[in-house]
Amino acid sequence: MSLELTEEERELRAMVRDFADGVVAPQAYEADRTHTLNLDVVRQMGEMGLFGLPFPEEVGGQGGDYFALGLALEELGRVDQSIAITLEAGVSLGAMPVFHFGTKQQKEEYLPDLLAGQALAGFGLTEPEAGSDAGATRTTARLDGGEWVINGSKQFITNSGTDITRFVTVTAVTGERDGRKEISTIIVPNGTPGFTVEPAYDKVGWHASDTHPLTFTDARVPEGNLLGERGRGFAGFLRILDEGRIAIAALSTGAAQGCLEASIDYAQKRTVFGEALSTRQNAQFTIARMQARVHNARLAWQHAARLCAAGKPFKVEAAIAKLTASDAAMDNARDATQIFGGNGFMNEYPVARHYRDSKILEIGEGTSEVQLLVIARSLGLA
């Protein structure tokens, strides 16, 4: 399996890199400082076709795959993780569930705007007592007069409260089968009575990413808002996460690359005891290790993405990619901050923001411990 980029993929990467450097990077610090998602940047990403990258043309997409999406996410994550995660969640958690499991009517109603970046959607899975153990879901949905009546709460939901958020898809217990919870997924449009988007979180990082807790109090939606087969919501969620882990791995690789590039530039310009910092062997070795991490992370996510695009099993490779790349992002952020010294503690420097932002990469869309569990099970250790 070749990891060599095609001409089209090289052009995509160059286009997004130019956009990242010219449009995204200049606004990143102010957006982070004010905790503001720049919807103009989101609009421009939509016009570039980035939200439609892994979808077929017949539904309004660009006819690409998760490899193409990964290339875009890596370049965006290099300069601004908040913008990158807005794209990643908009695709993997917002549009992809509708594409995979939606009815013809649901696809026609929602996909055009989602794939054009004119609307965003969230995926309501995590709850106060149901994180890695998503089977512990307590949110319920019962049928009453042709409507689902939803009660419960969700937390840490990305893209759930922007001015262009169209809906959230929520997992809810809809009954019981063979003594076990029957978990289904249901589309809940924003503005539904009883559905409350609570105030945004005050987060450690990803300040410009939109993240809210959600509350449902007798929220009613039509029975036809069921997404996919009743009782298959948890299984569908696992498929969505496998793909999303490739995307998060690509974003993480971009963050690690951004820290590497910033460290090289700073070490060459910074003078210490009359010499450039880059002449010091400790700095050289630190940066060399950063490059090795980026290389390994990139190989891991690209391999998983190629398998996914080829229709081959990729679950374990996606777990390896997310584990490897999120570790690389966190380790490179720490080393870059040390290279920068006191400046690395100042938020106007990108490495400081990467230091704060990268921790969540080891948690969101499956913790590092979950990835290790997936890998261990594949080895017959469970």
Tell me the CATH number at 72.
Answer: 1.10.540.10
CATH number at residue 303: 1.20.140.10
> What are residue 360's DSSP bridge partners?
none
> Does residue 348 fall inside a structural domain?
yes
Q: Exposure string (b/e) for 128-146, b if CB count within 10 Å is 16 or more?
A: eebeeebeebebbbeeeee
Distance CA 288, CA 275 (A): 19
Residue the block writes with tokens 């989602």: 114
Residue 59 pLDDT:
95
Whether 281 and 224 map to the same domain: the answer is: no
Instruction: Tell me the CA distances in angstroms from 331 to 51, 128, 267, 325, 371, one per residue in order.
Output: 29, 29, 18, 10, 18
Whether 137 and 251 map to the same domain: the answer is: no
pTM of this structure: 0.96
Residue 136 pLDDT:
86
CATH number at residue 162: 2.40.110.10
Chosen domain end from 175, 195, 230: 230
Q: Is 156 helix (H, G, I), strand (E, B) or coil?
A: strand
Residue 230 pLDDT:
94
Residue 313 pLDDT:
96
> Does residue 1 fall inside a structural domain?
no
The model's pLDDT over 294-322, given as tens digits with 9 standing for 90+, comes to 999 999 999 999 999 999 999 999 999 99
Distance CA 202, CA 208 (A): 11
Residue 1 pLDDT:
66
Domain count within the chain: 3
Whether 42 and 174 map to the same domain: the answer is: no
Locate 203 and state its tokens: 């987060």
> Does residue 282 fall inside a structural domain?
yes
Distance CA 232, CA 234 (A): 6
Chosen domain end from 67, 94, 120: 120
Whether 264 and 176 map to the same domain: the answer is: no
Q: Which domain holds residue 365?
A: 235-378
Handedness of CA 30, 32, 34, 39 (dihedral sign): positive
Locate 241 and state its tokens: 């996460």
Amino acid at 266: Y
Active site residues: 365
Tell me, rounded to whole angstroms, the distance of Cα 323 from its chain centroid.
Answer: 14
Distance CA 289, CA 331 (A): 10
Whether 265 and 374 map to the same domain: the answer is: yes
The ranges of the chain with pLDDT < 50 are none
Chosen domain end from 171, 202, 230: 230
Whether 81 and 105 map to the same domain: the answer is: yes
Residue 233 pLDDT:
84
